Amino acid sequence: MLVSRHPPWRIPSRPSALPFEVEEAVAEEVEGALRPLKSLRRSALLLLALPALVPAPSAATALSIGIPGPKEWLKEQKKKSAKFVLAPIEASRNTLRSAFDLLNAPDSQSTAVNSEEMRRLLNLASRDCVPLQRSSLVQLQSQTGVEVCTFRLIVKNAASLLDKNNPVKLEAEVALDDLIRSFSLLGDVIIDGNFQLGADREKVKDGLAKTISSLDKFEQGIKECLGV
């Protein structure tokens, strides 16, 4: 009887997982892990799209249910910020009054009151709106196209919701031009004045009074722009 020297033939056992099955299992596991993230992303995209999907109410509808429109809301915000918008005007008025009180002091004829001190107060009050009263740095900034006049910036802020030809806005711009002119004339009087002379001091006081009056009119114009 012949005995085979070769081991008996056996059907190879099935491996635990074929390569493609391993890849499929890994893919399913990764897919399962990413499913919550995909769901979260879809939810986020849906939330972002909701404002565009939901139509905005018409102006008539908004008024009927008491919802203010964007422009009305902005007007209310401007009214609330009026105190801060008007603050530089009040500060300039106080500076001009300080200069006026300085001239009215009993020792105003002494060297305590001089052209240099009055120019310093004037420069503070004019808020960089008169070219000849600006510092070299501010003048350089203005030459680059930057708006440096505080009062002009106030007009732009207060009248930003008004039409270009709105009478209230135009009146505020006229008041601004008058104010800048008053500051410029006051500067000329201070430069040319001799504070040891009573007549020159009176000219400066008269210029201060006119400038304060122009400032008051400008402030009123800004208040009308703000609706306060």
Contacts of 9 (CB under 8 A, 6+ apart): none
Where are the chain's structural domains?
A: 74-226
Contact present, 103 and 205 (Cβ < 8 Å): yes
Q: Using the predicted structure, report yes or no on whether residue 224 has a pLDDT greater than 50.
A: yes
Q: What percent of the chain has pLDDT over 90?
A: 44
Q: Minimum mean pLDDT among 22-26, 117-121, 181-185, 214-218: which range?
A: 22-26
Confidence of residue 110 (pLDDT cuts 50, 70, 90): low
The model's pLDDT over 5-51, given as tens digits with 9 standing for 90+, comes to 544 544 444 444 444 444 454 445 545 544 544 444 444 444 334 34
pLDDT of residue 24: 52
Residues in the chain, how many? 228
Q: Residue 149 is inside which H or E element, if any?
A: none
Separation between Cα atoms, residue 80 and residue 189, nearest integer Å: 39
Q: Do residues 61 and 96 make contact, with C-beta atoms less than 8 angstroms apart?
A: no
pLDDT(77) > 70: yes
Q: What is the mean pLDDT of the chain?
A: 77
